[in-house]
Amino acid sequence: MTSSDYTPPKIWEWKSANGGTFANINRPIAGATSDKELPIGKHPIQLYSLGTPNGVKVTVMLEELLAAGHSGAEYDAWLIRIQDGDQFGSGFVDINPNSKIPAMVDRSGDAPQRVFESGAILLYLAEKFGAFLPAEHGKRTECLSWLFWQMGSAPYLGGGFGHFYAYAPMKIEYCIDRFAMEVKRQLDVLDRQLANNEFIIGSEYTIADIAIWSWY
């Protein structure tokens, strides 16, 4: 099909057949689709996640905090099965209105604090425990620049190349090739940054490394 063969519909409507493997999570609506409360464990931090690149970031961060001696980082981890629609349950939507993993609740304070989006969770934990985030303004800025670089780049890697190469119901050469070039460009960015640095921003291990490692 060429571009001239395609006529956009007046209204795009959801069709599960067009979603491929992940049709269940490719809906054009937000909000809960079922009443389902989330479990709550005994530790201060409750993590609701899955072993995806974004989900793994928070688990790595919490384990690094515990290894560094921060006992307040003890947590309960609960599996959210996104292909079964767990993220559309009312309890999860209350924590993350965007219905994406990971999501976290910190119950160590006077009132529970929800945090969603993997980058926001990493930053929240780094500030809460004073770890893996430089205190000096310039280094902190560099760290956050790379943290947000990862957040902005990952959709091209996962939802772009990964989707069209591995999960799309049909192989579209143009899409695969286009996103493949972007993935190679991103890897070149990292290769150049790490050529003379032990870690992303230099000699210090930070949340930028944690965020980038899970994807690349």
**pLDDT tens column, 126-146:** 999 999 999 999 999 999 999
- Return d(Cα 158, Cα 170) in angstroms, integer: 17
Under a CB-based contact definition with an 8 Å cutoff, are residues 94 and 40 in contact? no
The structure tokens listed for 113 are: 């604090």
Per CATH, is 137-213 categorized as 3.40.47.10? no
Check if 45-129 and 137-213 are the same fold. Answer: no
Give per-residue pLDDT as tens, 61-110. Answer: 999 999 999 999 999 999 999 989 999 999 999 999 999 999 999 999 99
Model pLDDT for residues 20-65, shown as the tens digit of each residue: 666 667 788 899 999 999 999 999 999 999 999 999 999 999 999 9
In degrees, rounded to 5, the angle at the alpha carbon of residue 71 between the alpha carbons of residues 65 and 75 is: 75
Domains of the chain by residue range: 45-129, 137-213
Distance CA 32, CA 38 (A): 13
Residue 207: name the closest of 153, 129, 101, 154 by CA: 129
Distance CA 179, CA 175 (A): 6
Q: Report pLDDT for 201.
A: 98
**CATH superfamily, with its number, for domain 45-129:** Glutaredoxin (3.40.30.10)
